[in-house]
Structure 1
Amino acid sequence: MRKLLSTLAVVVASLIGLSALTACGSSDASGQTLRVGTLTDAPPSIYLENGQFTGYDNELLRDIAKREGFQVEFVGTEFSGLLAKVASGQLDIGSSTISATTARKKTVAFSNGYDTSYTTVVSKKGANLAEAGAFAGKRLGVVQGSVQDEFAGKLAGAEVVRFPDYNAGFAQLRDGSLDGWVVPKDIGQKYLDQNPTVPLEFGYTVLDKDTPSAYAVAKSNPDLLNKLNDGLSKALADGTVARLHAQFFKQAPVAAELAKGGPGLPVKNA
């Protein structure tokens, strides 16, 4: 009898352990609450408003989650450590206008793309930073580990200054400690709109369409990746992607691929 009770206890404990597993690292997202790493200061894509994580990226993810039968819990994090946390299972999804680059595909898997963007250099008016060859000896602020970090590193002669978030970089641009601030153009536009008394302008700008913004997941979780792509496909088909884009990006037209019924922006993982 003692042996039987002992065996039953082991079985019950095992079942409890299985039922108590968190979403992180699980292969089935249905009905679970998934932890989403995001930023707090990159409007209109990702930001906090009245204590609520919102923005185009996060509202689209909420819509996808509803369609696919799971919940999302947003967690503010620094961009430099985001992909490592997703890859290790500390976070289930990365939602931070993450460009699906070849280098990043070595660490995580990406959903299909949900946005294209321009990378731009914001500077004080009259700084004359409109050309790629204008940056010798200039101090350029970037978010550490971002595509803009890589972009700035290719500008000949530039001194790249790295920050944990967008607010810190903007503060130094505003007080004159930086010559330029490298950001996605939509984020730069939002800061310009919110600070009309600061004399700022856009300088050197390039279109980034080959590496669209996409959600990051662990390579070991193909079920979640499929759910994200399925939900995104449905949101494209019924025009939700276009509607949310128009809501948050009032001055930028949606890419033709993301219009209602459009083909989307496929991402091929490594």
Structure 2
Amino acid sequence: MKKINLFIVLLVGAVLLVACADSEEGATNSNEGSSGEDAWNRIQEAGEIVVGTSGTLIAASYYEGDEETEDQLTGYEVETMREIAKRLDLDISFEIIGVDNVLPAIKSGRIDISSGTITDKRKEEFDFSDPYKYSYITMAVRKEDNSGIESLEDLEGKKNGGGATTIYSQIAEQFGAEVVTYGNAPNEAYLRDVDNGRTDVVINDYYLTKFGVAAFPDFDIHLHPDLNFNLTTSGVIVPKGEDTLREKINEALQEMREDGTLSELAIKFYEEDASVEPEKEIIEIDDLDI
């Protein structure tokens, strides 16, 4: 009798385990087959959208203030996000986060959205809004000799200051440079090290590099006079498959483009209209694996 009872107990247990496994599989399949409205519905219900931003990038996301006024987070990226939230009738909160932590934070749900360069690799794991910023890639180098860099091939053996996961560091590594990482450091830390020789170059977005270099005139650095390459586009990063959220953001961006708000913000912070493609000739490097 005891053996029979034990058999029944084991049989029931096995059935329950199978049922639980089926339930978990069903839940997983349900998530994979979601309607793409989950994030938007949750954000609407909360009445607030949480945006990840660095707070350390002059003209894009930085703190502005003086002795008489409280520091205020601002910049083209920040004010574009504020305007999107306003047009979607949402409150907005910003979480200061290092560039290397942005994508994991979106995946984990720590933040709802952020801003970033649109690349084919990133589009495998995330979705992007339509572009709201157009730029290209350049370098900050020492004035006296361009840090010995006259072509991308000259990056071999050089030291590049940058975030570990940025497309700019990927480019540096692809051409043989060593990447020196800083975490969520301000522009000054990166550029000072080029000046003092700890590193040789900072490969980055044209607008960020332009204003970073201009902010520290005592450093013996400048924008490389010849190396301007690969048009880049930046958009709002959203979780993969959240189509409704992406579409709502695109609607707001389209309104901002049509009524001139995007251009006004870009010119205010960058002194150029970064919301449209640049007119200057830019070298396109086809074999960049980014």
Q: TM-score, normalised by structure 1?
A: 0.78
Corresponding residue of 2:223: 202
Alpha-carbon deviation of 1:256?
A: 4.1
Counterparts of 1:26 and 1:133, CA distance in 2: 44
**1:56 aligned residue (76, 79, 95):** 76
Indicate the SS of the match to 1:230: helix
Identity %: 26
1:63 Cα deviation after fit: 0.9
The within-5 A match list for 1:218-257 is 218-250=239-271, 252-254=272-274, 256=276
Relative to structure 1, the CA distance from residue 256 to residue 140 in structure 2 (aligned partners, 3 Å threshold; closer, same or farther) is closer
Structure 2 letter corresponding to 1:114 = Y
Q: By how many angstroms is 1:240 displaced?
A: 0.5
List aligned pairs for 1:175-186, cutoff 5 A: 175-186=196-207
Q: Distance in 1 between matches of 2:182 and 2:267?
A: 30
**2:159–2:178 CA contact under 8 A, matched in 1:** yes
User: How many equivalent pairs are there?
Assistant: 229
Q: Distance in 1 between matches of 2:122 and 2:139?
A: 23
Using the TM superposition, give the Cα deviation of residue 107 of structure 1 relative to its aligned residue in structure 2, in angstroms. 2.1
Which residue identity is paired with 2:177? A
TM-score, normalised by the number of residues in structure 2: 0.73
Give the aligned residue type for 1:90: R
Q: Which amino acid aligns with 2:125?
A: T
2:128 is aligned with 1:110: yes
**Structure 1 contact 116–208 (Cα < 8 Å) conserved:** no
Deviation at 1:206, TM superposition (A): 3.1
Aligned match for 2:105, one of 76, 82, 85: 85
Q: Secondary structure at the match of 2:49?
A: strand
Structure 1 position 166, deviation (Å) = 4.8
- 1:159 equivalent to 2:174? Answer no
Question: Is the contact between residue 45 and residue 57 of structure 1 (CA under 8 Å) also seen in structure 2?
Answer: yes
Letter paired with 2:93: E
Which 5+ residue runs of structure 2 have no aligned equivalent?
1-37, 66-70, 279-290
RMSD, matched Cα: 2.0
Unaligned runs of 5+ in 1: 1-24, 259-270
1:46-103 Cα deviation digits (max 9, x unpaired): 11224322110110111111111112101100111111111221110113xx111111
Deviation at 1:136, TM superposition (A): 2.6
Asked whether the equivalents of residues 143 and 166 of structure 1 are also in contact (C-alpha less than 8 Å), the reply is no
Greater helix share, structure number: 2
Letter in 2 for 1:158: A
Instruction: Tell which structure's C-alpha radius of gyration is larger.
Output: 2
Tell me the residue number matched to 1:13. none
| Contact persistence 1:88–1:218 (CA under 8 A) | no
How far apart, CA to CA, are the structure 2 residues paired with 1:198 and 1:33?
41
More strand by share: 1
